[in-house]
Amino acid sequence: MSRTPDDRGFDEMYAGVPPWDIGRAQPEVVRVAEAGGFAEPVIDVGCGTGENALELAARGLQVLGIDASARAIEAARTKASVRGISAEFLVADALDLGSLDRRFPSALDCGVFHVFDDPERPVYVASLASVLEPGGVLHLLCFSDRQPGSFGPRRVTQQELRDSFADGWDVSEIVATTFVTNLPELQAQAWLATIVRTA
C-alpha cells in the first residue's frame, strides 16, 4: 500500500465486540444480495470481521474485503477458514483504494461513509471511483439523521449523500432502513443508498 492505513482506533475496538459486529450480515445487505444487486467481483470497503463479505461469498460471489484494522482482517480470515468459505481479505486504507490496482463492478460500504469528516468525504468518494468501474454500483448503508440522540456515529442527511456523490455518480435511490447492532437499545435509523458510477 502507498500509505499506512489509519485504523482510527478500530483495531482497539475489535479487541472486544463492537456494536456493529452482529455475528451475521446486515439484513439490508442480505436483501440486496437476494435481489441480485451485486455483480462479481465485489469489494466490501470497511468489511470489519467479514460477515457481509462472507455472506456474499457463500452465495458464490467473488469478494474482496478490506479494512484498516489488522485485527478485524485476521478475524475475517479465521471465520472464512472455519466456515470453509473462499473470500479474500486485505488490510487497506479506504481513502487510498487506488493502490489496490484493481477494478470492481460492485462495491459495498456498510458503515464507513459516516466515519469520515467533511474534508475526508471527497477523498473517500474519489477513492471509491478509483476502483469502481464506470456503470458499477455502490451500495452504501450509513447512519441517518433520522436517528435521535447523539450516541454512535455521525448522522448523515440524504442531501449530504447526494452532494458527496454529485460529480461522476448517479444517486439512483435512497431508502430509509435500519442498521442492526448488537445493542438491543440501539437499532439505528439508516439510509441505504444505491449509487451508480457514471464517469
* 171-183 tens-digit pLDDT: 999 999 998 888 7
> Is the pLDDT higher at 183 or at 98?
98
How do the domains of the chain map onto residue ranges? 10-197
pLDDT band at residue 3 using 50, 70 and 90 as cut-offs: very low
Q: Taking residues 86-98, what's their average pLDDT? A: 97
Q: Taking residues 47-69, what's their average pLDDT? A: 97
Q: Taking residues 32-45, what's their average pLDDT? A: 98
pLDDT score of 8: 63
DSSP state of 59: T
pLDDT score of 47: 97
pLDDT score of 57: 98
pLDDT score of 187: 75
What is d(CA 20, CA 26) in angstroms, rounded to the nearest whole number?
A: 9
What is d(CA 116, CA 52) in angstroms, rounded to the nearest whole number?
A: 21
DSSP code per residue over 162-197: HHHT-SSEEEEEEEEEEE--S-TT--EEEEEEEEEE
pLDDT band at residue 93 using 50, 70 and 90 as cut-offs: very high
- pLDDT tens profile 13-23: 666 666 678 78
pLDDT score of 122: 98
Which class would CATH give 10-197? alpha beta
